[in-house]
Structure 1
Amino acid sequence: MYMNKKLLTTVTRIIWILFTISTIITIFILFKGTINSFMGKFLNGYIIFIFFFLFYNGFVTILNMSKLKWDEIRKRLLRFFILFSIFLAVNFVLTYLIKGKANIPGLSTPFGFAFGITFMDIIFTKERNNKKKLNS
């Protein structure tokens, strides 16, 4: 089990490094302004990679969360819903103040911020840390 967890953590780190590098390249391509066929293929691949990246992070989070005690899961979910509500309200107010009209803002930004703040440490948790939490 430890070897699988170590492999999962290594794969997760590699995927996050690829995400960071490809995001920097994508920002550079978009700010440069000229897109040739290779850059277009890279951007299409980046979009597909982002979908798999989001799915993978959700899967790893659920997999690692299943090893936590119910009290810890409940606290994290409550924290997630509170943060999501706060970020959604702030997004709504800022949209109203900047654009001058009240429309329903997108859910992806508040969801991403709340998810990242609440569950980021679970994605990179190693087996040793989980054993320490369970024993204490």
Structure 2
Amino acid sequence: MADVHDVATRSRNMAAIRGANTKPELQVRRALHALGLRFRLHAKELPGKPDLVFPRHKAVVFVHGCFWHGHDCHLFKMPATRQEFWADKIGRNVANDNKAAAFLRVDGWRIGVVWECALKGRTKPDFGETMQALATWVRSTEPSITLRGK
């Protein structure tokens, strides 16, 4: 009986994980909007459903959680239990990220990635400077930007 309860609890907990409109994503959206940028959200027709789409600038931005996308920073720690499951899950997420980025590049999109550690944690840089760097990139013609903790 305990196994059934554990599975049900895990399923409920996983269902509570947001795929869109996360706190880091909302932070980035508010800041870029305040800096005068306008964007579309979660364009389903684009590979990887980018969090922010700037059609005028032919740029997309992904706001990645360090845990879910296997980032090599202090915010990522492989869980001690069910390690094979988590390694497979996170590995699939990373593979999907790479595949989506490749398709977007082929279609001429510029790609920005903001890692969660750029917004929180002990290594986060100044938020205002980080958002200014992102806004400057969106308005530029640079092919990519990756913002992460120090």
- Which one has a larger percent helix, Structure 1 or Structure 2? 1
Looking at CA atoms only, which structure, 1 or 2, has the larger radius of gyration?
A: 1
- Which one has a larger percent strand, Structure 1 or Structure 2? 2
TM-score, scaled relative to structure 1: 0.32
- Work out which structure has the larger RCO, using CA pairs closer than 8 Å and 6 or more positions apart in sequence: 1
TM-score, scaled relative to structure 2: 0.29
